[in-house]
Amino acid sequence: MSLILRTLAASDPGLVRTNNEDVAFAGRRLIAVADGMGGAPAGEVASDIVIRALAPVERSAPDREPLAALLEAIAAANRGIREVADADPANEGMGTTVTAALLSGDRLAVAHVGDSRGYLMRGGTLRQLTRDDTFVQALVDQGGLTPAEARRHPQRSLVTRAVQGAPVEPATTALTAEPGDRLLLCSDGLSDVVEDHAIAWALTAHPDRQQCAEQLVKLVQQAGAPDNVTVVVADVGPE
């Protein structure tokens, strides 16, 4: 079955930050979120590089293996970030998270580095498609923290992997998409302050994608919005 994504992206700098280092892409086959790091303007540059490298994947051959297309684009972005950092010592350490999903027919591929998240809402159940590359997630995996403790940990935003010019292998997920699926990609500005049950409520209570995205941003603002927040809401349906 040939499926497409109907998408809506929203981004907000939050109530504390003066600049927005998040960048998103929302197409008919490709969605992506990147959250820059390394300080302004380097973080903004890094996230822009990765999204610009991914954007042409939207027009890739429909019969191409979607995961290979994503990984090739992220590798190209990684090289681009290395070149920019090498050209100016002030940019050393610049990097970005990235979470991207590509739909090809009914095949959905997800590639992920960092702590921007991907979620799937199917049949009223929310499933996290990505694992955070963070210090606190490693502690949770080892049994040293509970998920609730991780949400309050002062180092919860310490990322252990990023696209920043050094060798990195994205984590990947492949699944079969179904009509009626709703996907959410988001920067940690959402997931750090809004719990999964509230995210699930917004995704199910607001069928309209714009209203859904606006509600997610509103939930972040109600929680103090200490960071930039970016969301991409995508509904899977027949072409």
Q: What pLDDT sits at residue 38?
A: 65
Cβ atoms < 10 Å from Cβ of 137: 19
- Judged on CB neighbours under 10 Å (0-12, 13-18, 19+), 59 is exposed
Please answer whether residues 104 and 84 qualify as being in contact, where contact means their C-beta atoms are separated by less than 8 angstroms.
no
15: which 2 tokens?
């109530």
Which candidate, 96, 93, 94, 79, places its Cα nearest to that of 36?
A: 96
Q: What pLDDT sits at residue 218?
A: 98
Bond before 207 cis per omega within 30 degrees: no
Give the architecture-level CATH label for domain 3-129+163-238: 4-Layer Sandwich (3.60)
How is the chain split into domains, by residue range? 3-129+163-238
Q: pTM score, two decimals? A: 0.95
Q: What pLDDT sits at residue 146?
A: 80
> Cα separation of 26 and 18, whole Å?
24
Per-residue pLDDT of the chain (239 residues; tens, 9 = 90+): 689 999 999 999 999 988 899 999 999 999 999 999 966 568 999 999 999 999 999 999 888 899 999 999 999 999 999 999 999 988 888 999 999 999 999 999 999 999 999 999 999 999 999 999 998 888 888 888 888 777 778 777 789 999 999 999 999 999 999 999 999 999 999 999 999 999 999 999 999 999 999 999 999 999 999 999 999 999 999 98
Cβ atoms < 10 Å from Cβ of 124: 8
Q: What pLDDT sits at residue 139?
A: 87
Tracing tokens 């991907």 back to the chain, one arrives at: 118
> Cα separation of 196 and 119, whole Å?
10
> Cα separation of 101 and 194, whole Å?
22
Tracing tokens 């990023």 back to the chain, one arrives at: 162
227: which 2 tokens?
């960071």
Q: What pLDDT sits at residue 39?
A: 63
Please write down the HEC assignment for all residues of the chain: CCEEEEEEEEEECCCCCCCCCEEEEECCCEEEEEEEECCCCHHHHHHHHHHHHHHHHHHCCCCCCHHHHHHHHHHHHHHHHHHHHHHCHHHCCCEECEEEEEEECCEEEEEEECCCEEEEEECCEEEECCCCCEHHHHHHHCCCCCHHHHHHCCCCCCECCCECCCCCCCEEEEEECCCCCEEEEECHHHHCCCCHHHHHHHHHHCCCHHHHHHHHHHHHHHCCCCCCEEEEEEEEEEC
Q: What pLDDT sits at residue 16?
A: 93
How many residues belong to the chain?
A: 239
